């Protein structure tokens, strides 16, 4: 009989301890150590003998000079969704393991079922494994999405042994596991969703993907902080980590890549949730600006880059006198530390006395911006609200703001200005260092500025 032992495992970072502790030494979180049972690992001698017996002695196990290895372009499987293919770096790579996380009810299962349907329509054999819903419940969702394909197979199972057997018998091209927290390894004596189970099942699916060349998508639950539940090791094991996010009050959903071994990690895909499923938003700038109110103080449009795609969004600011000892700094869609930094620059370099004012900033549309080029938009919106002076509604701005008040150069200026011209904007306020070396589109005026004071004079006029 196999010897069993008890251990305590942190449910946040996977730290293991032979005894219980109130605070995890690995991640410094309290009350995360949970008792688990597992089969004792074999001795080092047994492991060494097993490793020797498993060696094939082939050329693939011997080191090779890197110059002698042939460069082969990874084939891609297109999903017929341009937004998804862009985020994945050009399509699904066979043999890849992709993890998708998101809040409950955000649409992860809907998105993957629609992807499965598209792949099945291209005569790819697809296996959708649901551990949270029965076959009839999955069929109800498929009927709502108008999905009916002979190449799409559905299985309601959580036992890893049966899942592996089904994959061997069916030999699919694409597999969806919904979700990884419901799958359990029969030889691991901890509950499904625990750190040990998630780690073992993910490593098993990784070996299946690499050895059989099947692309596997794992759905992962998220914690209350928004990170994928389970140890951080889970994100290191997979080839790509995607986050499906969005505000519940909006119908728009954003798919972001935070890790991708086969493409860029800056790409973003935008979808709109409708009655018959998720639909792609091919022109996000039009969506984000359709409800903009012209002539309102504290509003400006910035040109941001999400990967290779320029997106025009509206930044709104409200500056009001504070009634407390410490003024409040609140931001939605922008890092509040960046807001405090730019407000300090405006107070020191421009002379705006903001120390006794509350500041509330928001990116309209529920999108999150984190690139330095939005600094100038934040500064203009704050100054516009503080002076109660609206900016020109046909202006678009972008540029990084330094601590000395200078406007620093940014990347992909031509794409940003082209997107602004396409959306009907007449003037672009850009860093002076970015002028030259590219062609200005017709119908738009480009003005280069070297500091914040100069940018405010163009957008708001001289202060009185």
Residues of the chain above pLDDT 90, percent:
56
pLDDT score of 41:
55
How confident is the model over 151-172, as a mean pLDDT? 94
pLDDT value for 194:
79
103 is in an annotated binding site: yes
- Report the pLDDT value the prediction gives residue 4, as an integer from 0 to 100: 62
Q: How confident is the model at residue 56, as a pLDDT?
A: 46
What does the domain layout of the chain look like in residue ranges? 4-52, 75-282, 286-460
Express each pLDDT in 222-256 by its tens digit: 766 656 655 566 788 899 999 998 776 678 888 98
**Is the per-residue pLDDT at 83 higher than 50?**
yes
The pLDDT value recorded for residue 231 is 58
In the chain, pLDDT over 70 holds for what percent of residues? 91
Instruction: Check whether 104 is labelled as a binding-site residue.
Output: yes
Q: Express each pLDDT in 36-59 by its tens digit.
A: 776 555 555 444 444 444 444 444
Residue 77 dihedral angles phi and psi, to the nearest 5°: -110, 115
For the question of whether the overall pTM of this predicted structure is more than 0.95, the answer is: no
Closest by CA position to 395, among listed 372, 423, 437 = 423
Q: Could you give the CA distance from residue 366 to residue 149 in angstroms, rounded to a whole number?
A: 35
Q: Known binder of ligand: residue 106?
A: yes
Is position 178 annotated in a ligand binding site? no
Host H or E run for residue 120: helix 108-121
CATH superfamily of 75-282: P-loop containing nucleotide triphosphate hydrolases (3.40.50.300)
Specify the higher pLDDT residue, 150 or 196.
150
Under a CB-based contact definition with an 8 Å cutoff, are residues 302 and 334 in contact?
no
Secondary structure class of 255 (helix, strand, coil): strand
Least confident interval from 30-39, 65-74, 354-363: 30-39
Q: Are 75-282 and 286-460 in the same CATH fold?
A: no
Helices and strands in the chain, H and E counts: 12, 21
CB atoms within 10 A of CB 58: 7
Q: Contact 366/372 with Cβ under 8 angstroms? A: no
Cα 153 to Cα 128: distance, rounded to the nearest angstrom? 6
Q: Determine the pLDDT at residue 58.
A: 44
pLDDT at position 240, please? 93
CA distance 451 to 456: 9
Confidence at 381, pLDDT banded by 50, 70, 90: very high
- Whether pLDDT at 144 is above 50: yes
- Angstrom distance (rounded) from CA 161 to CA 356: 64
Q: What are phi and psi of 331, to 5 degrees?
A: -145, 140
Give the dihedral sign, CA 258/81/306/301: negative
Q: Is 109 annotated as a binding residue?
A: yes
107 is in an annotated binding site: yes
213 marked among binding-site residues:
no
Which pLDDT value is given to residue 57?
A: 45
Is the predicted pLDDT of residue 190 greater than 60, yes or no?
A: yes
Q: Could you give the CA distance from residue 157 to residue 162 in angstroms, rounded to a whole number?
A: 7
**May I ask the CATH architecture of the domain 286-460?**
2-Layer Sandwich (3.30)
Q: Rg for the chain (alpha carbons), in Å?
A: 26
Flag the least confident range among 203-217, 222-236, 371-385, 389-403. Answer: 222-236
The model's confidence at residue 60, banded by pLDDT at 50, 70 and 90, is low
């Amino acid at each position: 009989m196999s010897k069993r032992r008890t251990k305590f495992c942190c449910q946040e970072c996977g730290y293991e301890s032979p005894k219980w502790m109130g605070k995890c030494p690995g991640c410094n979180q309290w009350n995360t150590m949970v008792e688990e049972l597992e089969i004792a690992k074999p001795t080092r001698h047994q492991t060494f003998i097993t490793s020797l017996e498993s060696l094939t002695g082939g050329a693939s196990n011997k080191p090779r000079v890197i110059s002698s290895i042939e460069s082969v372009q990874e084939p891609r499987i297109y999903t017929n969704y341009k937004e998804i293919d862009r985020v994945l770096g050009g399509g699904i790579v066979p043999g890849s393991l992709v993890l998708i996380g998101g809040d409950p009810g955000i649409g992860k299962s809907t998105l993957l079922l629609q992807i499965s349907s598209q792949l099945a329509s291209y005569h790819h054999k697809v296996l959708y494994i649901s551990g949270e819903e029965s076959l009839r419940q999955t069929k109800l969702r498929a009927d709502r999405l108008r999905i009916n394909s002979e190449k799409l197979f559905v299985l309601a199972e959580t036992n890893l042994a049966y899942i592996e057997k089904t994959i061997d018998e069916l030999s699919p091209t694409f597999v969806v596991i919904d979700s990884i927290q419901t799958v359990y390894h029969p030889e691991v004596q901890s509950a499904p969703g625990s750190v040990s189970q998630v780690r073992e099942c993910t490593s098993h699916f990784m070996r299946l993907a690499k050895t059989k060349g099947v692309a596997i998508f794992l759905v992962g639950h998220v914690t209350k902080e928004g990170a994928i539940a389970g140890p951080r090791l889970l994100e290191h094991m997979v080839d790509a980590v995607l986050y499906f996010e969005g505000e519940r009050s909006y119908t728009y959903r954003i798919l972001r890549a935070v890790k991708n071994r086969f493409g860029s990690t800056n790409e973003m895909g935008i979808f709109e949730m409708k009655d018959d499923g998720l639909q792609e938003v091919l022109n996000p700038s039009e969506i984000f600006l359709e409800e903009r109110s012209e002539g309102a103080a504290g509003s400006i449009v910035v040109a941001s880059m999400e990967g290779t795609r320029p997106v025009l969004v509206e930044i709104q600011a409200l500056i009001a006198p504070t009634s407390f000892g410490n003024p409040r700094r609140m931001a939605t869609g922008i890092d509040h530390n960046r807001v405090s930094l730019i407000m300090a620059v405006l107070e020191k370099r421009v002379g705006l006395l903001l120390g006794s004012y509350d500041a509330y900033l928001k990116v309209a549309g529920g999108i999150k911006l984190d690139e330095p080029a939005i600094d100038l938009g934040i500064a203009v919106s704050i100054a516009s609200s503080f002076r109660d002076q609206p900016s020109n509604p046909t202006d678009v701005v972008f540029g990084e703001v330094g601590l000395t008040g200078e406007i620093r150069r940014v990347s992909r200026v031509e794409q940003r200005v082209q997107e602004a011209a396409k959306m009907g904007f007449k003037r672009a306020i850009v860093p002076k260092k970015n002028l030259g070396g590219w062609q200005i589109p017709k119908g738009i005026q480009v003005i280069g500025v070297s500091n914040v004071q100069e940018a405010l004079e163009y957008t708001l006029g001289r202060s009185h």
